[in-house]
Each structure stands twice: as structure tokens, then as C-alpha cells.
Structure 1
Amino acid sequence: MKVEQIYTGCLAQGAYYITSNGEAAIIDPLRETKPYMDRLEKDGVRLKYIFETHFHADFVSGHLDLSRKTNAPIVYGTTAKPEFEAIIAADNQIFEIGGIKIKVLHTPGHTMESSCFLLLDESGKETALFSGDTLFLGDVGRPDLAQKAANMTQEKLAGLLYESLYDKILTLPDDITVYPAHGAGSACGKNMMKETMDSLGSQKKINYALNQPGKEAFIKAVTEGLLPPPAYFGMNVAMNKKGYGSFDEVLKHGLKALDAADFQAAAESLGALILDTRSDKDFAKGFIPQSVNIGLIGDFAPWVGAMVVDVKQPILLVADYGREEETVTRLSRVGFDNVLGHLSGGFETWKLAGKETDTVNRITPKQFASEVKIGESKIIDVRKESEYAAEHIQEAYSRPLAYINDWIKEVDPQEHFYLHCAGGYRSMIAASILQARGLRNFTEIEGGFNAIAQTTVPKTNFVCQSKILK
């Protein structure tokens, strides 16, 4: 028996590849199938089942393409209603893979169809729990994502989650290894650990949600402090439930190379978003007017999902040479399949063609320290509220990037302000969006708060409520 966790850091997502005696199972695969097909071929095994813990919200699963290529059936837990052929397993149903077994545990709460998969080794010993979004390390799945679809409140879903965890999961042996679907950085929970696997016994001791005195306390604990989910979550659920186009076709379209003239014509005639995936440093020096910068090196896909409202939005790419396929792949993982092509040769092609370019007014932390006037200058901090609360520049306003569509409406185009995040990645996203919407009355700070903290600019952890976005 072999169990391999295939962890994708930018999505904080874990897929699982399991083999025994010539057969295999894959749990919660990502969109691109090649990594799994390569493993199956290398190991000389047949994929027998594709297990899905639930209809994922934060990424588009590869279950359909993988099933088409291998003829392996897709398995969901009780109450799931996909709009394609699948096995809907009964609670406690057993599936055999080689000499091992996988037992389905229906664990509603995160979603109604959420299930965990319990691995029994060749001797029948309960060995591992693939817990999906039901149980994370240090946390549990948020109970507010499926409330509309289930016609329930988040409190009722949290109550179901309590019963699933306390009645089914906590009764399992302490030495079982817990393999969750996500880790720290995912928006599917609020308190996840950076580790990607742990024993159930350890989680029973340190996971706050598993140490509540009762159901009401649990409901309160898991529903407190939930941030609004990213806009693309609902669209990803729909794609996972209803189906989607072949990833191979998505990749083929996205890798269409366009010269500067064709790129410009497509942008103007098709209403496409120009997405520049270069680093914030390169983008600041020059870019195509109206383009939005979300750097590939970073939490690329989640930020695209948070900033671009519609997964069907036509997209034209400006990418570093040789990273076009990676970019299209990572976009497809969160459902952005409508990539029309990329600028052949990247931004240099645009410049060599003599096309109009733009820049961002970016200054160094040292320059910022020399010219800012605390109490007079307006400073906008686009980090998370928790980062701002830990420490921030005195008199700075907290305006998280995730809420830019709300706070951009209050920006006075006649009032200058300074803009920063932690390191420059998020503030450049904000800067590109501001300029795309006609706002240029700001100065962005290179290196963000991490660099500013090394200067003499006054800092504080006192939070003035009037500086927080209402």
C-alpha cells in the first residue's frame, strides 16, 4: 500500500494518490490530469475510483477529465446530486482497492454532501482519514458556504458539523493519520495549521473546534470571525457539480500566441481583461495601459478569483516567457477557462512594437520616510485586518485588498494618498486596479510594510475604529 499526498501550495490544497496490488484511487484531484496519469503509468496500476469529498468551492476538481481518460467512476457521498454519471455512496459503504478498503463516512456540515474517507489497510486496521473540508488541522470546515443551496442557516449547518465530528470522527482511534483537503492559506477555514498531516489524537488535543464543551459552544466558536467568501466560490461549486470543458481544450486556447497588433485588436473588440502576471517590480516599470497585475509568483489563483468577478471573463495574458502554460493551468484550477491567448514574447513585444505603455508611481521606503507627514498625509494599508491590527503605520487607514470594490468608491480623486501592503505584491494589484479605473492620485511603496518597518516611520498596534472599513 502507498499513500501519497500531492500538495499544491498556491491553493493550499491536498489531493491523494493511493495504490494497492495493481489498483489505485485518487481523492480530490486538481484540474490538470497529467500528474496523476504519469503516476499511474509509472506504477503500472489501474485507477479504480475517483473519490470527491464534496463539491469544492475554492478550486475546480479534475474528476471529470480524469474519469474520461481512465474510465474510473467518480464517487460522492450520500445526498450528492451531480449532473453527470457518478456513484452516490451510502453512509458506511465500503470500496475495495487492491488489498485495502475505503469506507465512506457521510459528514454533513461544511456542505450537505460532505464526506470523509476512512482507509483500512490490508489487515483491516483503520489507518488514515481523508477528511476533506470536514476536519482541517487546527480547524474545521466553515459552515457558511452551502447555506443558500441547503436552505439552511450557517448555525444549522454548524450544528450538523458538530454531530459529524463528535459522533463519527472523534470516536475513531487516536493513531489514525488525518489527511485534510486544505492547509494554512485556504479561505475554506479560518485557523488552519501550516502542517499538512497529523494524527487524530493530536488534533483531539490542539484543535479548538474539537474541544468545545457542547454543541452551542461549538456553533459559536466555528461561526465567529468568518470573512466573506471570495466571489468565485459559488461559480466553482457550479462547475464541479454541473461539469466543465476539457482542460486540454482550455490549455490549447490559452497557449495561442498573439503578436502585438492581434493582442490589441482582441483586447479592444472582445472586452477582454489584460492580466499581467509578471512580478510587481517588473510591472511597476512598464505595462500595457488598463492591464491588471496579479503576479504568478504568489497566491496567484486565489487573488484572480477574488479580484475578477466572473469566471467567464475573457482574459488575455502577459506572462514571463516560458511560464504561459503554468499561468493557464493555474487559472483553470479556479475556473477561469476563457483565456483567449497570450502576448507572444511578453511585454517586450509590446514595447518593440512602439505601443503605448504606462507605469506606476512607486517610491522606496526611504523616500516615503523622508516625505510622509503623519497626521497630514493619507496612507492606505491593503493588508488583511489581522495584519493591520498587529502593527501598522500611525494614522494609516485599513482598506484590505479583498474589499477594493467597496472602498474604491470612497477614494477622492483629488486627494493624494500613499498605498502599501506587506511586501508589494498586493499593493501592486490594488495600484493596477486603481489606475485601470482612472485613479492616479497615489504613490505606491516598494517593499511594503516589511520594508517601511526598517525606517523611522512611526508605527503602532493601536486600532482606531474610524480607520477601519465599515
Structure 2
Amino acid sequence: MDVSIIETSGLGDRSYLISADGTAVVVDPQRDIDRVLDLARERGVRISHVLETHIHNDYVTGGLELSRVTGAEYVVPAGDDVGYERRAVSDGDTVDAGPVRLQVMHTPGHTHHHVSYVLRDAGGSGDSVLGVFTGGSMLHGTTGRTDLLGDEHTQELSHAQFHSVRRLAAELPDTAEVYPTHGFGSFCSATPASGDSSTIADQRQTNPALTQDEQSYVDELIAGLGAYPAYYAHMGVINTEGPDPVDLSVPEPVDPDELRRRIEGGEWVVDLRNRTAFAAGHLGGTLGFELSDNFVTYLGWLYSWGSPLTLIGDDVDQIADARRELARIGVDNLTGSAAGDIHDLAEGTPLRSYRVADFAALADAMQAQAPAVLDVRQSGEFADGHIAGAVNIPLHELSRRLDEVPDGEVWVHCASGYRSSIAASMIDRGDRTVVLVDDAFDQAEKTGLVS
């Protein structure tokens, strides 16, 4: 029996391919199913079943399309009214894939109908538990968040989550491996997860649902829930109706004149280049979203859903990578692309630029003139420590609070430089001098800036 992990680091999620004796079962696949198909070919296995632990809220599933392409049985928790044929499973049901056998366990909390799949050794007595695929229930050192279905459900789901994790720990052996879908950077995790692998025994020592009493767990979980990406509102709808097949083709190229027309028309034109390259020279009116691990989360969070989107990149490969990332969250209206040297794409149009600095430079500047400081971290981060006098506008609120950004010289920072680089591109304009602080916030603490 082999369990292969398919990482989607940009969303902080994992999918799994379980294989034995030429047969494979896939759990919670992402929309770009070519990765799963390539792995199955590499392993020399046929996919017989595709399993979902829940209707996902942070990505568009590839499960429906994967089942169509492979002829696999599509297994989805009972209870949700979906727009496609599937096998609806409930607590106690068994998924029998020959050498791979999984038992369904209802584990509500992340959603009402959420299930986990207990992997049993079909080649032995059948009673030996090898692991459990927990989706958004028991994560590594934490649990899935419980507020994605609306505030009116949060209390109920938080209590349900506590009991689901307790049930998993009570019914499964200490040696069982825990294979969650969320918790590797995903906002579907209630708090940051810990570790790359875990067992039920490990969770007894680290999981708050197993180390705290019920009310303490619920109170702490709810108090710690921060904002989550706005695009989540669309994922459940798409996954319930049934996603369209994925399109990973590179958007049609546009020439500099058309690029300028789109920018002047107020369309979404996103520059994927490194944030310092963007700061050194960019087309005015474009937004800088460096293509790195946080790219798809924050673009999805800020994007005006359904709007035409044009991508600028260093090369076609960079644009193709961004297309794949965006497809995973259903951002499909990519209407054009432009690749190459930014000066060539500008074709004579003057580029805009702004300074990049660190917290040490900000400390020096504050000694001399006390410039305006914009902190785009979330409010909880700000409350834990901030620069005196800084204006806190979380990045996801910035587009509707631009009138609160000070005029003149503004130094923009976050915890690492990524969110602030997006914010800098959003507030860059002719009558404002933007300085991007591309530095870790602990350096601000070392310079004595933090109160």
C-alpha cells in the first residue's frame, strides 16, 4: 500500500493517491488533474475511485472531471444537493476498491456533511487501520475552521468539530497516519498547522480538540478565526453545481497598444514579475502580484469576480504557471497576456517606479521626518505589535478604503514584504511617493520601531 501526496503549496492543500496492486483511489483532487494522471501513469495504476471529504470552499475540485476522464466512481458525502451524478456516502459505508478499502466516518465541523475516510489493510484481516484521510476535520495540531458556511452555523459546527476529532481519536489506533487536506498554509485551517506528518498518537498531545475541554476549545477556536479570502464565497457554489473542465492554455497575446487600452479602460492587468522588478519599473495602472506561493490566495481575495484579466510576465512559462494557479480557484476569464521585457511592452510609455527599503531605513526616516506608515497586515497581527502612528488597513480592505491612505510619502509594510508589495502597486499614483518596505517584521522589532 502506497500513499502519495500531491502538494498544492499555493493554496496550502494536499491531495492523495492511494495505490496497491495496480489500483488507485484519489482523495480531494485539485482542478488541474493532469498532475494526478501523470502520477498514476508513473505508478502504473488505474484510478477506480475518486473521493471527496466535503464540498470544498478554498478551491475548485478536479474530482468530477477526473472521474469522467478515468471512468472512476465519484464518491461524495451524502447531504449536499449537487448537480451531477455521484455515489453519495454516509457514516459506516465502505468504499471497496479491491486492494484498497476505506470506511466512511461522518466528521461534521468544517461543513455539516463532512466525512473522513479510514484506510484499512484489505490484504490482511481487514481490521488493521493504516491511516485516515481527514479533509478539514483533524489537521496537524489544529482543526479546520468552522465559519465558512456563515456565522449562524459557527457555534454548532465548532461543537461538532470537537466531537468529530474526539471520535477519530477514540475509534482509531495510535499508529494510524493522519492525512488532512488542509492545514499546510490554507485559510481553511482554524490556526496554523504544525509538522509535515502525524499520527493519532501525535494528535493526542498537540490537537486542541484533544487537549482542551469542549467549551474552552470552542471559545478559543471562534476567538481566533480571522478573515478569509473573498473568493471562497464562489467555491462552494461551483463545486456543488459541478465545475467546467479545466483550461490551462496560455491566454492570447496582446500587443502594447491593446495592453495600454485595457489599462486605461480600468481593466484588471496583473504584473507577475518579482516585486522588486515591479518597483523598479512598471506600467502605471497595473497591479503587482508576484508569482510566488501567496499569489493565488491574494489575487483571488482582491479580484473583482468574473472581470476580464490580463497577465504580464517575464516569459510565457510564467504566464502559464499563473494560469494554472488561477484555474484552481475558478478564475477563468483570462482575456490576454503579454510577455517580455517591460520596456518593450511599454513601447515608449514612461514607466512608473518607487523605492524599495527595509525597516532599518524606515527607522532612519522616522528619526528625520516621521513619514506616514501604512501597515497592511490583518488587524490581529497589528494588535500583537505595530509601529507607533502606523495606519492599519488590512490588504483585503484596501481597495474600498483607499481614501484613508495618507497623501505624500507613504511607507508600506506587512510581515514579509509580499502583501505590502501588492498594496504599494494599488496606492501608487502621481501625487504620492510610495516606499515599499520589503523586509521581515521581526527586523522592525529589532530596530525598536514596534510598540
Q: TM-score under structure 1 normalisation?
A: 0.88
C-alpha deviation, 1:366, in angstroms: 5.5
- For the residues of structure 1 that align with 2:365 and 2:395, how far apart are their CA atoms? 24
Counterpart among 255, 258, 263 of residue 262 in structure 1: 258
Per-residue CA deviations over 1:20-52 (Å, capped at 9, x if unaligned) read 222111111111111111122222321111101
Query: Are residues 1:426 and 2:419 paired?
Result: yes
Q: Which amino acid aligns with 1:305?
A: G
Alpha-carbon distance between aligned partners in 1 of 2:82 and 2:53, rounded to the nearest angstrom: 13
Residues 238-317 of structure 1: pairs in structure 2 closer than 5 A: 238-247=237-246, 250-252=247-249, 254-267=250-263, 272-310=267-305, 312-317=306-311
Where do 5+ consecutive residues of structure 2 fail to align? none
CA 62–280 in structure 1, closer or farther in 2 if over 3 Å, else same? same
**Whole-Å Cα distance in 2 between the matches of residues 87 and 11 of structure 1?**
27
Total equivalences in the alignment: 447
Task: Supply the AA of the counterpart residue of 1:175.
Answer: T
CA distance in 2, matches of 1:409, 1:263: 27
The Cα shift of 1:297 comes to 2.0
Query: Aligned-pair distance for 1:398?
Result: 3.2
Is the CA contact 2:109–2:161 (under 8 Å) kept in the aligned structure 1? yes
Aligned position for 2:61? 61
Give the secondary-structure state (helix, strand or coil) at the position aligned to 1:228. Answer: coil
Q: Structure 1 residue 141 and structure 2 residue 144: aligned?
A: yes
Q: Which amino acid aligns with 2:210?
A: L
Q: Please list the CA deviations of residues 428-447 of structure 1 after superposition, one character each: whole Å capped at 9, or x if unmatched.
A: 10011123xx5752432342
Q: How far is the alpha carbon of 1:332 from its aligned partner? A: 0.9
Answer whether contact 1:258 1:341 (CA < 8 A) is retained. Answer: yes
User: Does structure 2 retain, via aligned residues, the 8 Å contact 1:19–1:98?
Assistant: no
Closer/same/farther in 2, CA of residues 43 and 363 from structure 1, 3 Å limit: closer
* Aligned: 1:130 with 2:133: yes
Identical-pair percentage: 28
- Structural mapping, 1:69-80, within 5 Å: 69-80=69-80
- Compared with structure 1, are the counterparts of its residues 289 and 132 closer, same or farther at alpha carbon in structure 2 (3 Å cutoff)? same
Secondary structure (helix, strand or coil) at the match of 1:220 reads helix
* Deviation of the 1:337 alpha carbon: 0.9
Find the aligned partners of 1:442 and 1:176 in 2 and give their Cα distance: 56
Name the aligned partner's letter for residue 137 of structure 1: H
Structure 1 pair 220–443 and aligned structure 2 pair: CA distance change class (3 A): same
Rounded to whole Å, the distance in 2 between the matches of 1:224 and 1:451 is 25
What are the Cα deviations for residues 257-297 of structure 1, in whole angstroms up to 9, with x where unaligned? 2222333345556x630011111100001112211111102
**Cα–Cα, structure 1 residues 174 and 275, in superposed 2: closer, same or farther, change >3 Å?**
same
Give, in angstroms, the shift of residue 298 of structure 1. 3.4
Post-superposition offset of 1:147: 3.2
Provide the rounded CA distance (Å) in 2 between the counterparts of 1:452 and 1:126.
47
CA RMSD of aligned residues (A): 2.4
Residues 3-402 of structure 1 mapped to structure 2, 5 A cutoff: 3-121=3-121, 122-123=123-124, 124=126, 125-147=128-150, 152-214=152-214, 216-247=215-246, 250-252=247-249, 254-267=250-263, 272-310=267-305, 312-321=306-315, 322-345=317-340, 347-351=342-346, 353-363=347-357, 367-373=361-367, 376-389=370-383, 391-402=385-396
- Contact kept, 8 Å, 1:374 with 1:394, in 2: the verdict is no
* Superposed displacement of residue 364, structure 1: 5.5
- Decide whether aligned partners of structure 1 residues 76 and 378 sit closer, same or farther in structure 2, where only a CA change above 3 A counts: same
The answer for unaligned runs of 5 or more in structure 1 is: 463-470
Give the match for residue 435 of structure 2.
Answer: 444
Amino acid at match of 1:4: S
TM-score (norm 2): 0.91
Per the TM alignment, residue 374 of structure 1 is displaced from its structure 2 partner at its CA by 7.9
How far is the alpha carbon of 1:75 from its aligned partner? 0.7
8 A contact 2:360–2:444 mirrored in 1: no
Contact 1:180–1:196 (8 Å) recurs in 2:
no
Report the more deviating stretch, 119-128 or 340-349. 340-349
Deviation at 1:390, TM superposition (A): 5.0
How far the C-alpha of 1:111 sits from its partner, in A, is 0.7
Amino acid corresponding to residue 255 of structure 1 in structure 2 = P
The amino acid of 2:394's aligned partner reads P
Q: Please give the secondary structure, in 1, of the residue aligned with 2:19.
A: strand
